[in-house]
Amino acid sequence: MAGQTGIDWGSQRVIVTGGAGFLGRHIVEGLHARGVGDERIFIPRRKDYDLTEKDDCARLYADAFGGDEPTLVLHLAAEVGGIGANRENPGRYFYANMAMALHLIEQARETGLIDRGGKFVQVGTICAYPKFTPVPFKEEELWNGYPEETNAPYGVAKKAAWQMLDAYRLQYGMRSSYLLPVNLYGPWDNFNLHSSHVIPALIRKCVEAMDRGDESLEVWGTGSASREFLFVEDAADGILTAAEKLDDPTPVNLGTNFEITIRDLVHLIAKLTGFASEDTIEERIRWDATKPDGQPRRCLDVQRAIERMDWRAKVGFEEGLQRTIDWFRTHREDADARL
């Protein structure tokens, strides 16, 4: 994952919010690969710091390295879920994600991150894109409409963090970068059926249906919506490459530019897990068309990441799915412990 850098990784003191989570685990592995030791990585835990509270964010910066101020903040932490969770928690998702970014960015300024030449890296979301954005999504389309309704509060909160970073660049000279990763998947994902995204949910449903000997599997929606997915190791590499190479929060998509319909995705996961064969797939999947499909299409234009960072995803989709399925089967207890 390491390469030519514009940053001296060995001298960095890095705060990774969400560092114990799905993406965070892979970010920490990427930091290690770049020569950053554990003593220079601080991962705030929710039991110790409520990042939606100003005082806790201030205490985080004071505590992180025993008085030595951080030089890089990687803000990955978020409260997020699938369509069902977004419909049930729109207020909480807006407040939590807005408050975390608001306090973390301001406390970075107050504690001298700018004076130290440090940088704040914000992970955004493609839920910020308008519902009917032309495909593939280009970053300049971000303001050309309202997001898909079920996840708009989450998306708008994340987009506001981008605007805050840009305002702090203009007024205070804060160095930052802002990434828009497409839907992530891979080892250590959230496999909770109530709050997970589509890939881990489908993997768990297929594996557990096989364990029970179920004849069929129910899936939300019609299957007509399409999505793009990015293997989590590629996402971590993209975020760390941005920390190396980008100094302003011009939004940059992280994706593969590969689009698949939910119907084809369900069929592929059912076959890779062994739940169904090519001949039986149609009769074993039951679609609940009363449930929402979400945004009609998602597929990113990744030209800006190529031009500004010389970054491209490396893991093919079917390879990534098989690695995720294999991980879930091998680490069922670890996945259950996250629920």
CATH number at residue 302: 3.40.50.720
Q: What whole-number distance in Å separates Cα of residue 6 and Cα of residue 34?
A: 12
Model pLDDT, residue 296: 80
Q: What is the pLDDT along the chain (339 residues), one digit of tens a residue?
A: 434 457 899 999 999 999 999 999 999 999 999 999 999 999 999 999 999 999 999 999 999 998 788 999 999 999 987 777 888 999 999 999 999 999 999 999 999 999 999 999 999 999 999 988 999 999 999 999 999 898 899 999 999 999 999 999 999 999 999 999 999 999 999 998 877 788 999 999 999 999 999 999 999 889 999 999 999 999 999 999 999 999 999 999 999 999 999 999 999 999 999 999 988 988 899 999 988 787 788 899 999 999 999 999 999 999 999 999 999 999 987 666 555
| Residue 326 is assigned to a structural domain of this protein | no
124 touches 77 (CB < 8 A):
no
Each residue of 306-326: b (16+ CB within 10 Å) or e?
Answer: eebbebebebebeebbebbbe
| Residue 55 is assigned to a structural domain of this protein | yes
Tell me the three state secondary structure of residue 338.
coil
**H helical segments located in 213-314:** 232-245, 262-273, 281-284, 303-309
| Residue 225 is assigned to a structural domain of this protein | no
Model pLDDT, residue 294: 76
Domain range for 102: 10-189+231-257+298-315
Whole-Å CA distances, 258 to 228, 232, 324: 6, 15, 18
Model pLDDT, residue 285: 93
- The structure's pTM equals 0.91
- What does residue 110 show for φ and ψ, rounded to 5 degrees? -65, -30
Model pLDDT, residue 337: 56
| Residue 320 is assigned to a structural domain of this protein | no
| Residue 165 is assigned to a structural domain of this protein | yes
Peptide bond into 136 cis (omega under 30): yes
Q: Which of 227, 252, 232, 198 is nearest to 313 (CA)?
A: 232
Active site residues: 154
Model pLDDT, residue 4: 42
| Residue 267 is assigned to a structural domain of this protein | no
| Residue 69 is assigned to a structural domain of this protein | yes
Model pLDDT, residue 338: 56
| Residue 32 is assigned to a structural domain of this protein | yes
How many domains are there within the chain?
Answer: 1
